[in-house]
């Protein structure tokens, strides 16, 4: 008698209750997911369940990196600045579209940055402080847009030096990043062996052959020597000492920034590392021409970011939310 009533109890009350609880929990999870941004979702079919799932999980991951005080404590640097003292974004005044894009990107990734006005190629100052090549005597080895680009990076390096920063990250405004870029930077910085006196850590180079070289630290195989240095769209400078050292060489530069850096790195004047496969790529296409190489319609990189902030996250957010957060 007791046996039967126990089974009846389970079948008639407990099981339906469990099913109901499961359904409620599922609905609640979904609701929470949708409220994540507390901004209205688009009421159309463009936004799929997969979009919502991807947005919420990735945003949660980014937030957990942003809220992890323990990680930054070891560094005396802020995780909101990519474990550096400072994040710079170089942007040409007339590229409002890219300024907006970088703002969306770094707001999404929870990274604070300082905007630096790039030097337009058509108004390079006649004499750049320190630099020996001028718009007057720039040779075929360095076009005016390349000289302008060099000037912009030099002015950031000068800022790093004068402000005595101990680590700084520099981005150009046409970059797409792996959405876990904080994790990558943190891991890379923590993995550089103490005996390596490094100057630059690239978050990605294009046409990189770094994969042919041994990892710099086998426990973090994505960290490799930067060979060759191509593309200065995303890199970390090892503080004011490296900035000063780089400036000493770059003031005498007669070729483009990445050619110069690659030359210095090849001959051991500086030490550059990179993440491979790249975690930062340049955004290029027929509609996104380079300001420096406007004739180059080709995508300069054959790598795709598996977890692109733009394609995997921001494009979905734009599809799903009426207002971009």
Ligand X SMILES: *[C@@H]1O[C@H](CO)[C@@H](O)[C@H](O)[C@H]1NC(C)=O
Residues within the interface to ligand X (CB under 6 A): 97-98, 101, 126-127, 132-134, 136-137, 164, 166, 174, 190-191, 193-194, 217, 219-220, 254, 283, 287-288, 306-307
Sign of CA dihedral 69, 54, 308, 279: positive
CA distance 165 to 39: 37
Angle at 321 between CA 317 and CA 325, to 5 degrees: 75
Q: How far is the CB of 23 from ligand X (least distance, A)?
A: 28
CA distance 47 to 37: 15
Q: How far is the CB of 316 from ligand X (least distance, A)?
A: 14
Single out the residue of 253, 247, 304, 245 nearest to residue 141, CA to CA. Answer: 253
Single out the residue of 13, 11, 169, 155 nearest to residue 84, CA to CA. Answer: 169
CA distance 172 to 232: 7
Cβ-based nearer residue to ligand X, 67 or 134? 134
Cβ-based nearer residue to ligand X, 52 or 190? 190
Q: How far is the CB of 106 from ligand X (least distance, A)?
A: 13
Cβ-based nearer residue to ligand X, 87 or 228? 87
CA distance 196 to 224: 12
Cβ proximity of 217 and 223 under 8 Å:
yes
Cβ proximity of 297 and 270 under 8 Å:
no
Q: How far is the CB of 318 from ligand X (least distance, A)?
A: 10
Q: How far is the CB of 202 from ligand X (least distance, A)?
A: 18
Cβ-based nearer residue to ligand X, 244 or 288? 288
Cβ-based nearer residue to ligand X, 59 or 228? 59
Cβ-based nearer residue to ligand X, 54 or 155? 54
């Amino acid at each position: 008698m007791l046996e039967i009533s126990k089974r009846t109890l389970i079948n008639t009350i407990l099981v339906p209750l469990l099913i109901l609880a499961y359904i409620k929990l599922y609905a609640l999870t979904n609701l929470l997911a949708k409220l994540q941004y507390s901004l209205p979702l688009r009421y159309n079919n463009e936004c799929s369940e997969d979009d919502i799932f991807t947005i919420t999980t990735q945003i949660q991951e980014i937030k957990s990196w942003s809220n992890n005080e323990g990680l930054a404590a070891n560094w005396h640097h802020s995780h909101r600045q990519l474990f550096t003292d400072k994040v710079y974004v170089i942007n040409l005044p007339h590229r409002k579209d890219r300024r907006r894009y970088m703002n969306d990107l770094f707001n999404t990734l929870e990274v604070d940055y300082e905007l630096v006005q790039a030097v337009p190629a058509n108004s390079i100052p006649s004499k750049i402080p320190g630099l020996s090549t001028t718009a007057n005597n720039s040779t075929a080895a360095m076009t005016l847009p390349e000289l302008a680009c060099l000037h912009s990076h030099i002015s950031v390096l000068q800022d790093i030096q004068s402000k005595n920063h101990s680590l700084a990250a520099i981005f150009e405004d046409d970059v797409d990043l792996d959405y876990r870029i904080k994790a990558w930077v943190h891991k890379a910085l923590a993995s550089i062996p103490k005996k390596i006196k490094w100057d630059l850590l690239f978050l990605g180079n294009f046409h990189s052959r770094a994969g042919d070289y041994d990892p710099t630290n086998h426990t973090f195989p994505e960290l490799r020597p930067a060979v060759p240095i191509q593309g200065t769209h995303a890199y970390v400078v090892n503080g004011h000492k490296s900035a000063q050292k780089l400036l000493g060489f770059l003031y005498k530069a007669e070729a483009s920034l990445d050619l110069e850096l690659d030359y210095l790195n090849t001959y051991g004047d500086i030490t550059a590392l990179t993440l491979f496969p790249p975690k930062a790529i340049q955004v290029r296409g027929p509609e996104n021409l380079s300001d420096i190489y406007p004739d180059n319609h080709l995508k300069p990189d054959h790598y795709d970011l598996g977890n692109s902030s733009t394609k995997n996250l921001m494009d979905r957010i734009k599809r799903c939310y009426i207002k971009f957060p």
